[in-house]
Amino acid sequence: MRDVAIVSVAQTAHRRAAEELNEVELIQPVIRSAMDQVGATIADIGFTCSGSSDYLAGQAFSFVMTLDAVGAWPPIVESHVEMDGAWALYEAWLKIQAGHADTALIYSYSKASPGDLPRVMSRMLDPYYLGPLWPDSVAYAGLQARAMLDAGTITEAEMAQIAFRNREAARNNPNAQVVGSASVDELLAAPMFSDPLRVHDCPPISDGGVAVVLAADDRARAWSDRPAWIRGIDHRIDSHNAGARDLTTAPSVAIAAERAGATGAFDVAEVHAPFSHQERLVVDGLGLGDDVELNPSGGALAANPMMAAGLLRIAEVADRIMQGSAGRGVAHATAGHLMQQNLVAVLEGDS
Amino acid sequence: MSVDPTEDRSVSVLPDGLWTQPVADVPGGDGEDPVRRLTVPAAMRYDYTPGLAQSRFLRGLAEKKILGERCPVTGDVYVPPRGVSPVSGLRTTEQVEVGPSATITAFCVVHIGFGVNAPPTPFVSALFLPDGAAVSLYGTMGEVSHEDVRIGMRVEPVWVDDDQLTTSMENIRYWRPIDEPDVPADELKGHM
Protein backbone atom coordinates (compact mmCIF):
# COMPACT_ATOMS: atom_id res chain seq x y z
CA MET A 1 0.00 0.00 0.00
CA ARG A 2 1.21 3.50 -0.82
CA ASP A 3 1.04 6.24 1.77
CA VAL A 4 -1.68 8.60 0.57
CA ALA A 5 -2.66 11.79 2.35
CA ILE A 6 -5.02 14.70 2.16
CA VAL A 7 -2.82 17.78 1.79
CA SER A 8 -5.39 20.54 1.40
CA VAL A 9 -9.10 21.12 1.88
CA ALA A 10 -11.46 23.98 1.09
CA GLN A 11 -15.20 24.50 1.33
CA THR A 12 -17.85 27.09 0.62
CA ALA A 13 -19.96 28.71 3.25
CA HIS A 14 -23.17 26.67 3.09
CA ARG A 15 -26.51 28.41 2.66
CA ARG A 16 -30.08 27.68 1.70
CA ALA A 17 -29.89 29.10 -1.81
CA ALA A 18 -26.92 30.39 -3.78
CA GLU A 19 -29.40 31.86 -6.23
CA GLU A 20 -27.02 34.31 -7.88
CA LEU A 21 -24.44 31.64 -8.79
CA ASN A 22 -24.43 28.82 -11.28
CA GLU A 23 -22.73 25.57 -10.22
CA VAL A 24 -19.36 26.37 -11.74
CA GLU A 25 -19.36 29.82 -10.12
CA LEU A 26 -20.25 28.10 -6.83
CA ILE A 27 -17.42 25.56 -6.85
CA GLN A 28 -14.62 27.45 -8.66
CA PRO A 29 -13.35 29.45 -5.64
CA VAL A 30 -13.18 26.25 -3.60
CA ILE A 31 -11.21 24.34 -6.22
CA ARG A 32 -8.83 27.28 -6.60
CA SER A 33 -8.34 27.51 -2.85
CA ALA A 34 -7.53 23.82 -2.45
CA MET A 35 -5.03 24.04 -5.32
CA ASP A 36 -3.48 27.34 -4.24
CA GLN A 37 -2.86 26.09 -0.69
CA VAL A 38 -0.33 23.59 -2.07
CA GLY A 39 0.80 25.76 -4.98
CA ALA A 40 -0.52 23.25 -7.52
CA THR A 41 -1.75 23.82 -11.05
CA ILE A 42 -3.85 21.30 -12.93
CA ALA A 43 -0.66 20.10 -14.63
CA ASP A 44 0.52 18.85 -11.22
CA ILE A 45 -2.65 16.75 -10.74
CA GLY A 46 -2.64 13.15 -12.00
CA PHE A 47 -6.35 12.44 -11.58
CA THR A 48 -9.44 14.57 -11.09
CA CYS A 49 -12.69 13.15 -9.74
CA SER A 50 -15.95 14.89 -8.84
CA GLY A 51 -19.24 13.96 -7.22
CA SER A 52 -22.56 15.58 -8.07
CA SER A 53 -26.05 14.80 -9.33
CA ASP A 54 -27.91 16.25 -12.30
CA TYR A 55 -31.22 15.76 -10.45
CA LEU A 56 -30.35 18.46 -7.92
CA ALA A 57 -29.95 21.42 -10.24
CA GLY A 58 -32.20 19.84 -12.88
CA GLN A 59 -29.53 20.13 -15.55
CA ALA A 60 -28.25 17.32 -17.75
CA PHE A 61 -24.47 16.71 -17.73
CA SER A 62 -24.02 19.51 -15.22
CA PHE A 63 -20.73 18.01 -14.03
CA VAL A 64 -19.24 18.52 -17.48
CA MET A 65 -19.89 22.24 -17.18
CA THR A 66 -18.33 22.48 -13.74
CA LEU A 67 -15.14 20.97 -15.19
CA ASP A 68 -14.58 24.49 -16.51
CA ALA A 69 -13.43 25.35 -12.99
CA VAL A 70 -10.62 22.80 -13.23
CA GLY A 71 -9.12 24.15 -16.45
CA ALA A 72 -9.41 20.85 -18.27
CA TRP A 73 -7.51 21.84 -21.40
CA PRO A 74 -5.16 20.35 -22.55
CA PRO A 75 -7.17 17.18 -21.73
CA ILE A 76 -6.84 15.71 -18.24
CA VAL A 77 -7.50 12.29 -16.71
CA GLU A 78 -10.90 12.77 -15.13
CA SER A 79 -13.85 10.87 -13.70
CA HIS A 80 -17.17 11.58 -12.05
CA VAL A 81 -19.40 9.72 -9.62
CA GLU A 82 -23.14 10.28 -9.21
CA MET A 83 -22.38 9.94 -5.50
CA ASP A 84 -21.22 11.96 -2.56
CA GLY A 85 -17.68 13.24 -3.06
CA ALA A 86 -16.44 10.79 -0.42
CA TRP A 87 -16.83 8.12 -3.09
CA ALA A 88 -14.98 10.31 -5.60
CA LEU A 89 -12.16 10.43 -3.04
CA TYR A 90 -12.30 6.64 -2.76
CA GLU A 91 -11.96 6.29 -6.55
CA ALA A 92 -9.00 8.69 -6.51
CA TRP A 93 -7.40 6.79 -3.62
CA LEU A 94 -7.70 3.55 -5.63
CA LYS A 95 -6.21 5.25 -8.68
CA ILE A 96 -3.21 6.34 -6.62
CA GLN A 97 -2.87 2.93 -4.95
CA ALA A 98 -2.88 1.33 -8.41
CA GLY A 99 0.06 3.53 -9.38
CA HIS A 100 -1.87 5.38 -12.09
CA ALA A 101 -1.46 8.75 -10.37
CA ASP A 102 0.53 10.35 -7.56
CA THR A 103 -1.83 13.26 -6.96
CA ALA A 104 -5.56 13.87 -7.24
CA LEU A 105 -8.07 16.69 -7.08
CA ILE A 106 -11.49 15.75 -5.67
CA TYR A 107 -14.47 18.04 -5.44
CA SER A 108 -18.20 17.77 -4.96
CA TYR A 109 -21.04 20.20 -4.69
CA SER A 110 -24.71 20.71 -5.03
CA LYS A 111 -27.00 23.51 -5.92
CA ALA A 112 -30.13 21.81 -4.65
CA SER A 113 -32.09 25.04 -4.26
CA PRO A 114 -33.73 25.10 -7.73
CA GLY A 115 -35.74 21.95 -7.02
CA ASP A 116 -37.92 20.47 -4.29
CA LEU A 117 -35.20 18.43 -2.61
CA PRO A 118 -37.28 15.95 -0.54
CA ARG A 119 -39.20 15.10 -3.72
CA VAL A 120 -36.09 14.98 -5.88
CA MET A 121 -34.54 12.54 -3.40
CA SER A 122 -37.42 10.12 -3.96
CA ARG A 123 -36.02 9.52 -7.45
CA MET A 124 -33.24 7.44 -5.86
CA LEU A 125 -35.81 4.75 -5.13
CA ASP A 126 -36.56 1.81 -7.40
CA PRO A 127 -38.83 2.81 -10.28
CA TYR A 128 -41.36 -0.05 -9.86
CA TYR A 129 -42.49 -0.30 -6.24
CA LEU A 130 -41.31 2.63 -4.13
CA GLY A 131 -40.50 5.34 -6.67
CA PRO A 132 -44.09 5.58 -7.97
CA LEU A 133 -45.26 6.35 -4.41
CA TRP A 134 -43.06 9.51 -4.38
CA PRO A 135 -42.20 9.26 -0.68
CA ASP A 136 -40.35 12.43 0.28
CA SER A 137 -37.01 11.92 1.99
CA VAL A 138 -38.17 13.38 5.32
CA ALA A 139 -41.18 11.07 5.60
CA TYR A 140 -38.94 8.19 4.56
CA ALA A 141 -36.43 9.01 7.31
CA GLY A 142 -39.36 9.20 9.70
CA LEU A 143 -40.07 5.50 9.08
CA GLN A 144 -36.58 4.71 10.32
CA ALA A 145 -36.88 6.99 13.35
CA ARG A 146 -40.21 5.34 14.20
CA ALA A 147 -38.65 1.88 13.93
CA MET A 148 -35.82 2.92 16.26
CA LEU A 149 -38.18 4.54 18.77
CA ASP A 150 -40.40 1.47 18.78
CA ALA A 151 -37.38 -0.80 19.24
CA GLY A 152 -36.15 1.33 22.11
CA THR A 153 -32.75 2.03 20.53
CA ILE A 154 -33.30 5.79 20.84
CA THR A 155 -35.71 8.23 22.49
CA GLU A 156 -37.12 11.51 21.26
CA ALA A 157 -35.15 13.27 24.02
CA GLU A 158 -31.91 11.65 22.81
CA MET A 159 -32.68 12.74 19.26
CA ALA A 160 -33.16 16.30 20.50
CA GLN A 161 -29.87 16.11 22.43
CA ILE A 162 -28.08 15.03 19.25
CA ALA A 163 -29.56 17.96 17.33
CA PHE A 164 -28.70 20.34 20.18
CA ARG A 165 -25.07 19.20 20.45
CA ASN A 166 -24.43 19.40 16.70
CA ARG A 167 -25.94 22.86 16.24
CA GLU A 168 -24.25 24.26 19.31
CA ALA A 169 -20.93 22.91 17.97
CA ALA A 170 -21.63 24.72 14.71
CA ARG A 171 -21.08 28.01 16.55
CA ASN A 172 -17.38 27.34 15.93
CA ASN A 173 -17.88 26.55 12.25
CA PRO A 174 -17.86 29.71 10.10
CA ASN A 175 -19.22 27.75 7.14
CA ALA A 176 -22.24 26.26 8.93
CA GLN A 177 -25.76 27.12 7.89
CA VAL A 178 -27.73 26.34 11.06
CA VAL A 179 -25.84 27.69 14.06
CA GLY A 180 -26.92 27.38 17.67
CA SER A 181 -29.94 25.64 19.13
CA ALA A 182 -32.80 26.19 21.52
CA SER A 183 -32.63 24.11 24.69
CA VAL A 184 -33.50 20.42 24.54
CA ASP A 185 -36.69 21.08 26.49
CA GLU A 186 -37.73 23.76 24.03
CA LEU A 187 -36.91 21.47 21.10
CA LEU A 188 -39.10 18.72 22.55
CA ALA A 189 -41.97 21.17 23.06
CA ALA A 190 -42.06 21.90 19.31
CA PRO A 191 -44.77 20.30 17.17
CA MET A 192 -44.09 17.28 14.99
CA PHE A 193 -42.93 18.09 11.46
CA SER A 194 -43.13 14.61 9.95
CA ASP A 195 -44.04 12.42 12.92
CA PRO A 196 -41.88 11.32 14.75
CA LEU A 197 -39.45 13.90 13.35
CA ARG A 198 -39.50 17.48 14.52
CA VAL A 199 -37.82 20.22 12.50
CA HIS A 200 -34.69 20.01 14.66
CA ASP A 201 -34.29 16.32 13.72
CA CYS A 202 -33.96 17.21 10.05
CA PRO A 203 -30.99 18.60 8.11
CA PRO A 204 -31.14 21.98 6.40
CA ILE A 205 -31.28 22.11 2.61
CA SER A 206 -27.96 23.57 1.54
CA ASP A 207 -26.13 24.84 -1.52
CA GLY A 208 -22.41 24.36 -1.18
CA GLY A 209 -19.30 22.43 -2.08
CA VAL A 210 -15.94 21.10 -0.97
CA ALA A 211 -12.59 20.30 -2.60
CA VAL A 212 -9.69 18.15 -1.45
CA VAL A 213 -6.20 17.49 -2.83
CA LEU A 214 -4.67 14.03 -2.36
CA ALA A 215 -1.00 13.18 -2.75
CA ALA A 216 1.17 10.11 -2.25
CA ASP A 217 4.45 9.58 -0.45
CA ASP A 218 7.10 12.26 -0.99
CA ARG A 219 4.74 14.48 -2.91
CA ALA A 220 2.44 14.65 0.10
CA ARG A 221 5.38 15.62 2.33
CA ALA A 222 6.48 18.26 -0.17
CA TRP A 223 3.01 19.78 -0.33
CA SER A 224 2.16 19.72 3.37
CA ASP A 225 4.10 20.08 6.60
CA ARG A 226 1.59 17.82 8.24
CA PRO A 227 -0.34 15.64 5.78
CA ALA A 228 -3.48 13.82 6.94
CA TRP A 229 -2.58 10.27 5.99
CA ILE A 230 -5.42 7.96 4.96
CA ARG A 231 -4.62 4.87 7.03
CA GLY A 232 -7.73 2.97 6.00
CA ILE A 233 -10.80 3.50 3.83
CA ASP A 234 -13.68 1.19 2.93
CA HIS A 235 -17.30 1.40 1.85
CA ARG A 236 -20.16 -1.09 2.08
CA ILE A 237 -23.83 -1.10 1.19
CA ASP A 238 -27.02 -2.46 2.69
CA SER A 239 -29.98 -3.46 0.52
CA HIS A 240 -31.54 -0.62 -1.45
CA ASN A 241 -34.92 -2.06 -0.51
CA ALA A 242 -35.78 -0.55 2.86
CA GLY A 243 -38.45 -3.22 3.30
CA ALA A 244 -35.75 -5.89 3.26
CA ARG A 245 -33.68 -4.20 5.97
CA ASP A 246 -33.83 -3.93 9.72
CA LEU A 247 -33.95 -0.14 9.79
CA THR A 248 -32.80 0.01 13.40
CA THR A 249 -29.25 -0.97 12.44
CA ALA A 250 -26.80 -0.15 9.66
CA PRO A 251 -24.57 -3.24 9.41
CA SER A 252 -22.62 -1.75 6.53
CA VAL A 253 -21.24 0.93 8.87
CA ALA A 254 -19.71 -1.70 11.15
CA ILE A 255 -18.32 -3.72 8.24
CA ALA A 256 -16.76 -0.67 6.59
CA ALA A 257 -15.32 0.41 9.95
CA GLU A 258 -13.75 -2.99 10.50
CA ARG A 259 -12.28 -3.10 6.99
CA ALA A 260 -10.95 0.44 7.33
CA GLY A 261 -9.26 -0.43 10.63
CA ALA A 262 -11.38 2.03 12.57
CA THR A 263 -10.53 0.68 16.03
CA GLY A 264 -8.62 2.11 18.95
CA ALA A 265 -8.58 5.70 20.16
CA PHE A 266 -9.65 8.70 18.08
CA ASP A 267 -9.27 12.36 18.93
CA VAL A 268 -12.06 13.39 16.60
CA ALA A 269 -14.92 11.78 14.68
CA GLU A 270 -16.99 13.41 11.96
CA VAL A 271 -20.04 11.35 11.04
CA HIS A 272 -22.50 12.00 8.23
CA ALA A 273 -25.94 11.59 9.77
CA PRO A 274 -28.46 13.85 8.03
CA PHE A 275 -31.24 13.04 10.52
CA SER A 276 -30.69 13.12 14.26
CA HIS A 277 -31.58 9.49 14.93
CA GLN A 278 -29.10 8.36 12.28
CA GLU A 279 -26.15 9.61 14.32
CA ARG A 280 -26.90 6.84 16.81
CA LEU A 281 -26.65 4.22 14.04
CA VAL A 282 -23.23 5.50 12.97
CA VAL A 283 -21.83 5.91 16.47
CA ASP A 284 -22.93 2.37 17.32
CA GLY A 285 -21.58 1.01 14.03
CA LEU A 286 -18.22 2.69 14.59
CA GLY A 287 -18.19 1.70 18.26
CA LEU A 288 -17.31 5.25 19.32
CA GLY A 289 -17.04 5.98 23.02
CA ASP A 290 -17.68 9.16 24.98
CA ASP A 291 -14.00 10.15 24.83
CA VAL A 292 -14.18 11.14 21.15
CA GLU A 293 -14.91 14.69 20.08
CA LEU A 294 -17.96 14.01 17.91
CA ASN A 295 -18.88 16.31 15.01
CA PRO A 296 -17.08 19.49 16.11
CA SER A 297 -18.23 21.02 12.79
CA GLY A 298 -21.89 20.47 13.59
CA GLY A 299 -22.18 17.72 11.00
CA ALA A 300 -24.96 17.41 8.45
CA LEU A 301 -27.49 18.85 10.90
CA ALA A 302 -25.66 22.19 10.62
CA ALA A 303 -25.05 22.11 6.84
CA ASN A 304 -26.07 19.38 4.42
CA PRO A 305 -25.05 20.13 0.83
CA MET A 306 -26.04 16.98 -1.02
CA MET A 307 -23.09 15.12 -2.64
CA ALA A 308 -20.67 17.17 -0.51
CA ALA A 309 -21.72 16.56 3.10
CA GLY A 310 -19.88 13.21 3.22
CA LEU A 311 -16.62 14.50 1.73
CA LEU A 312 -16.97 17.44 4.11
CA ARG A 313 -16.73 15.03 7.05
CA ILE A 314 -13.42 13.72 5.70
CA ALA A 315 -12.24 17.27 5.02
CA GLU A 316 -13.14 18.39 8.55
CA VAL A 317 -11.13 15.58 10.12
CA ALA A 318 -8.23 16.14 7.72
CA ASP A 319 -8.24 19.85 8.47
CA ARG A 320 -7.93 19.24 12.21
CA ILE A 321 -5.04 16.85 11.66
CA MET A 322 -3.26 19.22 9.27
CA GLN A 323 -3.74 22.09 11.75
CA GLY A 324 -2.32 19.88 14.50
CA SER A 325 -5.36 19.98 16.79
CA ALA A 326 -5.97 16.24 16.28
CA GLY A 327 -3.64 13.29 15.88
CA ARG A 328 -5.98 10.54 14.71
CA GLY A 329 -9.54 10.76 13.51
CA VAL A 330 -12.31 8.83 11.83
CA ALA A 331 -14.66 10.17 9.16
CA HIS A 332 -17.88 8.63 7.93
CA ALA A 333 -19.96 9.38 4.83
CA THR A 334 -23.34 8.04 3.84
CA ALA A 335 -25.31 7.90 0.60
CA GLY A 336 -28.74 6.71 -0.43
CA HIS A 337 -31.80 6.67 1.79
CA LEU A 338 -31.72 5.62 5.44
CA MET A 339 -27.94 5.10 5.69
CA GLN A 340 -27.97 2.55 2.88
CA GLN A 341 -24.35 3.11 1.79
CA ASN A 342 -21.57 3.89 4.21
CA LEU A 343 -17.92 4.82 3.86
CA VAL A 344 -15.41 4.99 6.70
CA ALA A 345 -11.95 6.56 6.55
CA VAL A 346 -9.24 6.62 9.21
CA LEU A 347 -6.93 9.62 9.08
CA GLU A 348 -3.72 10.20 11.01
CA GLY A 349 -1.00 12.81 11.28
CA ASP A 350 2.71 12.09 11.73
CA SER A 351 3.36 11.65 15.42
CA MET B 1 -49.20 6.21 -39.86
CA SER B 2 -51.88 4.24 -38.02
CA VAL B 3 -51.45 3.10 -34.45
CA ASP B 4 -53.63 0.51 -32.77
CA PRO B 5 -52.95 0.95 -29.05
CA THR B 6 -53.88 -2.66 -28.35
CA GLU B 7 -51.41 -4.00 -30.88
CA ASP B 8 -48.59 -1.56 -31.12
CA ARG B 9 -47.22 1.15 -28.85
CA SER B 10 -45.80 4.08 -30.72
CA VAL B 11 -43.07 5.93 -28.89
CA SER B 12 -42.25 8.55 -31.47
CA VAL B 13 -43.47 10.32 -34.53
CA LEU B 14 -40.73 8.77 -36.61
CA PRO B 15 -41.70 6.76 -39.70
CA ASP B 16 -43.65 3.53 -39.23
CA GLY B 17 -41.72 0.57 -37.91
CA LEU B 18 -38.87 2.57 -36.47
CA TRP B 19 -38.73 2.56 -32.65
CA THR B 20 -42.11 0.90 -32.29
CA GLN B 21 -42.46 -1.92 -29.84
CA PRO B 22 -44.58 -5.07 -30.04
CA VAL B 23 -47.38 -5.54 -27.52
CA ALA B 24 -46.34 -7.14 -24.24
CA ASP B 25 -47.51 -10.72 -23.69
CA VAL B 26 -49.27 -10.33 -20.32
CA PRO B 27 -51.05 -13.48 -19.10
CA GLY B 28 -54.45 -12.76 -17.56
CA GLY B 29 -55.57 -14.44 -14.35
CA ASP B 30 -58.93 -16.20 -14.07
CA GLY B 31 -60.14 -14.73 -17.32
CA GLU B 32 -59.77 -11.15 -16.11
CA ASP B 33 -58.34 -8.53 -18.37
CA PRO B 34 -54.63 -8.27 -17.64
CA VAL B 35 -53.27 -5.02 -16.21
CA ARG B 36 -51.30 -3.68 -19.13
CA ARG B 37 -50.49 -0.20 -18.08
CA LEU B 38 -49.98 1.90 -14.97
CA THR B 39 -50.05 5.66 -15.17
CA VAL B 40 -47.98 7.44 -12.56
CA PRO B 41 -47.84 11.24 -12.75
CA ALA B 42 -44.21 12.26 -12.65
CA ALA B 43 -43.04 15.84 -12.66
CA MET B 44 -40.41 17.86 -10.87
CA ARG B 45 -40.42 21.63 -10.93
CA TYR B 46 -37.15 23.56 -10.90
CA ASP B 47 -36.74 27.31 -10.58
CA TYR B 48 -33.65 27.84 -12.67
CA THR B 49 -31.28 30.70 -11.96
CA PRO B 50 -28.55 31.25 -14.56
CA GLY B 51 -25.75 32.64 -12.40
CA LEU B 52 -23.76 35.86 -12.56
CA ALA B 53 -22.10 35.55 -15.96
CA GLN B 54 -25.09 34.17 -17.82
CA SER B 55 -27.30 36.84 -16.26
CA ARG B 56 -24.98 39.49 -17.70
CA PHE B 57 -25.19 37.71 -21.07
CA LEU B 58 -29.00 37.52 -21.00
CA ARG B 59 -29.34 41.17 -19.99
CA GLY B 60 -27.12 42.05 -22.95
CA LEU B 61 -29.41 40.12 -25.30
CA ALA B 62 -32.31 42.27 -24.13
CA GLU B 63 -30.36 45.22 -25.62
CA LYS B 64 -29.48 43.28 -28.79
CA LYS B 65 -25.89 42.89 -27.61
CA ILE B 66 -23.96 39.61 -27.57
CA LEU B 67 -21.70 39.77 -24.50
CA GLY B 68 -18.84 37.33 -24.00
CA GLU B 69 -16.28 37.22 -21.22
CA ARG B 70 -12.48 37.08 -21.55
CA CYS B 71 -10.09 34.48 -20.10
CA PRO B 72 -7.52 36.43 -18.05
CA VAL B 73 -4.74 34.09 -19.21
CA THR B 74 -5.33 33.29 -22.89
CA GLY B 75 -7.39 36.36 -23.82
CA ASP B 76 -10.00 34.14 -25.51
CA VAL B 77 -13.59 35.38 -25.27
CA TYR B 78 -16.24 32.80 -24.33
CA VAL B 79 -19.88 33.17 -25.28
CA PRO B 80 -22.27 32.45 -23.70
CA PRO B 81 -20.05 32.97 -20.66
CA ARG B 82 -20.36 30.66 -17.65
CA GLY B 83 -18.19 32.78 -15.40
CA VAL B 84 -15.06 30.64 -15.58
CA SER B 85 -12.50 30.12 -18.35
CA PRO B 86 -12.54 26.42 -19.27
CA VAL B 87 -8.84 26.60 -20.15
CA SER B 88 -7.37 28.38 -17.14
CA GLY B 89 -10.06 27.57 -14.57
CA LEU B 90 -10.01 31.23 -13.51
CA ARG B 91 -12.94 33.61 -13.19
CA THR B 92 -13.76 35.71 -16.22
CA THR B 93 -14.59 39.27 -15.30
CA GLU B 94 -14.03 41.45 -18.36
CA GLN B 95 -17.13 41.65 -20.52
CA VAL B 96 -16.55 41.94 -24.25
CA GLU B 97 -19.23 42.66 -26.85
CA VAL B 98 -18.80 40.28 -29.78
CA GLY B 99 -20.47 40.08 -33.20
CA PRO B 100 -23.12 40.74 -34.24
CA SER B 101 -21.58 39.54 -37.51
CA ALA B 102 -20.51 35.93 -37.33
CA THR B 103 -19.15 33.00 -39.34
CA ILE B 104 -20.68 29.55 -39.76
CA THR B 105 -18.28 26.95 -38.28
CA ALA B 106 -20.54 23.90 -38.71
CA PHE B 107 -24.05 23.23 -39.93
CA CYS B 108 -26.63 20.51 -40.42
CA VAL B 109 -29.53 20.31 -42.86
CA VAL B 110 -32.52 19.16 -40.81
CA HIS B 111 -35.17 17.07 -42.58
CA ILE B 112 -37.14 15.83 -39.57
CA GLY B 113 -38.57 18.58 -37.40
CA PHE B 114 -39.42 17.97 -33.78
CA GLY B 115 -40.80 20.27 -31.15
CA VAL B 116 -43.69 22.64 -31.64
CA ASN B 117 -41.49 25.58 -32.66
CA ALA B 118 -39.41 23.80 -35.29
CA PRO B 119 -39.15 25.74 -38.58
CA PRO B 120 -40.55 24.12 -41.74
CA THR B 121 -38.20 21.43 -43.05
CA PRO B 122 -35.69 21.32 -44.50
CA PHE B 123 -33.96 23.97 -42.42
CA VAL B 124 -30.35 24.57 -41.37
CA SER B 125 -29.16 24.52 -37.77
CA ALA B 126 -25.64 25.80 -37.37
CA LEU B 127 -22.89 26.99 -35.07
CA PHE B 128 -22.15 30.70 -35.46
CA LEU B 129 -18.80 32.15 -34.39
CA PRO B 130 -19.44 35.81 -33.52
CA ASP B 131 -16.61 38.14 -34.53
CA GLY B 132 -14.24 38.44 -31.57
CA ALA B 133 -15.39 35.24 -29.83
CA ALA B 134 -13.45 31.99 -29.34
CA VAL B 135 -16.48 29.66 -29.38
CA SER B 136 -19.67 29.40 -31.39
CA LEU B 137 -23.35 29.96 -30.60
CA TYR B 138 -26.10 27.63 -31.76
CA GLY B 139 -28.95 28.86 -33.96
CA THR B 140 -30.84 28.37 -37.21
CA MET B 141 -30.45 29.93 -40.66
CA GLY B 142 -33.08 31.89 -42.54
CA GLU B 143 -33.49 33.83 -45.80
CA VAL B 144 -31.32 31.31 -47.66
CA SER B 145 -31.78 27.93 -49.35
CA HIS B 146 -30.20 25.09 -47.40
CA GLU B 147 -28.27 24.20 -50.54
CA ASP B 148 -26.38 27.49 -50.38
CA VAL B 149 -25.22 27.26 -46.76
CA ARG B 150 -21.51 26.49 -46.26
CA ILE B 151 -18.82 26.55 -43.59
CA GLY B 152 -17.11 29.92 -43.56
CA MET B 153 -20.27 31.77 -44.68
CA ARG B 154 -20.66 35.25 -43.16
CA VAL B 155 -23.95 35.93 -41.36
CA GLU B 156 -25.74 38.33 -39.02
CA PRO B 157 -28.52 37.82 -36.47
CA VAL B 158 -32.11 38.79 -37.20
CA TRP B 159 -33.63 40.06 -33.96
CA VAL B 160 -37.24 40.07 -32.87
CA ASP B 161 -39.01 43.43 -32.90
CA ASP B 162 -37.79 45.80 -30.17
CA ASP B 163 -41.03 45.55 -28.20
CA GLN B 164 -40.56 41.75 -28.10
CA LEU B 165 -37.03 41.79 -26.60
CA THR B 166 -36.58 39.82 -23.37
CA THR B 167 -33.61 38.30 -21.51
CA SER B 168 -33.64 35.28 -23.84
CA MET B 169 -31.78 33.64 -26.72
CA GLU B 170 -35.19 33.68 -28.43
CA ASN B 171 -34.43 37.33 -29.17
CA ILE B 172 -32.43 36.06 -32.15
CA ARG B 173 -35.07 34.73 -34.53
CA TYR B 174 -32.49 33.31 -36.92
CA TRP B 175 -29.27 34.24 -38.73
CA ARG B 176 -29.03 35.32 -42.39
CA PRO B 177 -26.19 35.67 -44.90
CA ILE B 178 -24.41 38.98 -45.40
CA ASP B 179 -22.51 40.03 -48.49
CA GLU B 180 -18.94 39.38 -47.34
CA PRO B 181 -16.32 36.91 -48.59
CA ASP B 182 -16.23 33.50 -46.87
CA VAL B 183 -13.72 32.90 -44.06
CA PRO B 184 -11.26 30.10 -44.99
CA ALA B 185 -12.04 26.92 -43.00
CA ASP B 186 -8.47 26.78 -41.68
CA GLU B 187 -9.11 29.97 -39.72
CA LEU B 188 -12.08 28.36 -37.96
CA LYS B 189 -10.18 25.41 -36.48
CA GLY B 190 -10.69 25.10 -32.75
CA HIS B 191 -13.61 27.52 -32.68
CA MET B 192 -16.58 25.20 -32.97
Tens of pLDDT along A268-297? 999 999 999 999 999 999 999 999 999 999
Mean pLDDT along residues A64-70:
93
B141: amino acid identity, one letter: M
Total domains in the fold of chain A = 1
In a domain? residue A244: no
> What pLDDT shows up at residue B27?
65
CA distance A160 to A197: 10
Return residues 49-78 of B near A (CB < 8 Å): 49-55
The chain A residue lying nearest B86, using CA atoms, is A68
Mean pLDDT along residues A207-223:
97
Report which of A188, A196, A194 is spatially closest to residue A151, judged by C-alpha positions.
A196
Question: Does B89 contact A42 at a Cβ distance shorter than 8 Å?
Answer: yes
Strands A341-348 and B21-22: unpaired
Choose from A23, A55, A68 for mutation: most chain B CBs within 10 A: A68
Confidence at A57, pLDDT banded by 50, 70, 90: confident
In a domain? residue A32: yes
Residue A205: C-alpha distances to residues A59, A171, A209, A304 (Å): 18, 18, 13, 6
Name A135's Cβ contacts closer than 8 Å, sequence gap at least 6. A122, A125
- The neighbour count for residue B70, using CB atoms within 10 Å, is 19
Name B162's Cβ contacts closer than 8 Å, sequence gap at least 6. none
Q: Which residues pair with B100 in a beta bridge?
A: none
Strands A47-51 and A78-81: parallel
Q: Which residues pair with A344 in a beta bridge?
A: A234, A332
CA distance B40 to B22: 22
Question: Does B85 contact A24 at a Cβ distance shorter than 8 Å?
Answer: no
Residue A74: is the preceding peptide bond cis (ω within 30°)?
yes
**Beta-sheet strand order (sheet of B154-159):** B137-140, B123-130, B102-110, B154-159, B172-177
Give the tens place of pLDDT for each residue, A297-343.
Answer: 999 999 999 999 999 999 999 999 999 999 999 999 999 999 999 99
Backbone angles phi, psi at A336, to 5 degrees: 80, 180
Given CA atoms B179, B184, B187, B188 in this order, what sign does their dihedral have? positive
Confidence at A78, pLDDT banded by 50, 70, 90: very high
Range in A47-51, A187-191, A280-284, B30-34 with the lowest mean pLDDT: B30-34
Maximum pairwise Cα distance, chain B: 76
In a domain? residue A288: no
Give the mean pLDDT of chain A: 96
CA distance B161 to B170: 11
Determine contact, residues A294/A162, Cβ cutoff 8 Å: no
B1 pLDDT more than 60: no
CA distance A124 to A130: 10
Question: Does B88 contact A71 at a Cβ distance shorter than 8 Å?
Answer: yes
- The neighbour count for residue A77, using CB atoms within 10 Å, is 14
In a domain? residue A308: no
Q: Which of chain B's residues have a Cβ under 8 Å away from the Cβ of A24?
A: 51, 82-84
In the three-class reduction of DSSP (H, G, I as helix; E, B as strand; rest coil), residue B91 is classed as: strand
Report which of A258, A253, A223, A257 is spatially closest to residue A103, judged by C-alpha positions.
A223
Backbone φ/ψ region at A296: left (φ over 0), alpha (ψ -120 to 50), beta: alpha
Q: Which residues pair with B62 in a beta bridge?
A: none
Name A14's Cβ contacts closer than 8 Å, sequence gap at least 6. A175, A176, A177, A204, A206, A207, A208, A303, A304, A305
Mean pLDDT along residues A37-41:
97
B101 touches chain A (CB under 8 A): no
Report which of B168, B186, B180, B160 is spatially closest to residue B102, judged by C-alpha positions.
B180
CA distance A344 to A22: 31
CA distance A24 to A27: 5
Range list of H helices, chain A: 23-37, 54-57, 62-66, 85-97, 117-121, 137-151, 156-169, 184-189, 217-223, 251-259, 276-286, 299-302, 309-323
What is the distance of C-alpha A33 from the center of its chain? 19
Element (H, E) at B54: helix B52-61
What is the distance of C-alpha A97 from the center of its chain? 22
Q: Which residues pair with A8 in a beta bridge?
A: A213
SS3 content of chain A, % helix, strand, coil (to 5): 40, 20, 40
B119 or A158: which leads in pLDDT: A158
Q: What is the pTM of this model?
A: 0.90
Give the tens place of pLDDT for each residue, B85-116.
Answer: 999 999 998 999 999 999 999 999 999 877 76
A119: amino acid identity, one letter: R
Choose from B37, B40, B44, B56 for mutation: most chain A CBs within 10 A: B44
The chain B residue lying nearest A74, using CA atoms, is B87
The domain spanning residue A10 has which CATH number? Answer: 3.40.47.10
Residue A300: C-alpha distances to residues A201, A275, A307 (Å): 11, 8, 11
The chain B residue lying nearest A25, using CA atoms, is B83
> What pLDDT shows up at residue B9?
47
ipTM: 0.85
CA distance A149 to A248: 9
Domain hosting residue A58, numbered range: 4-115+205-223
In a domain? residue A39: yes
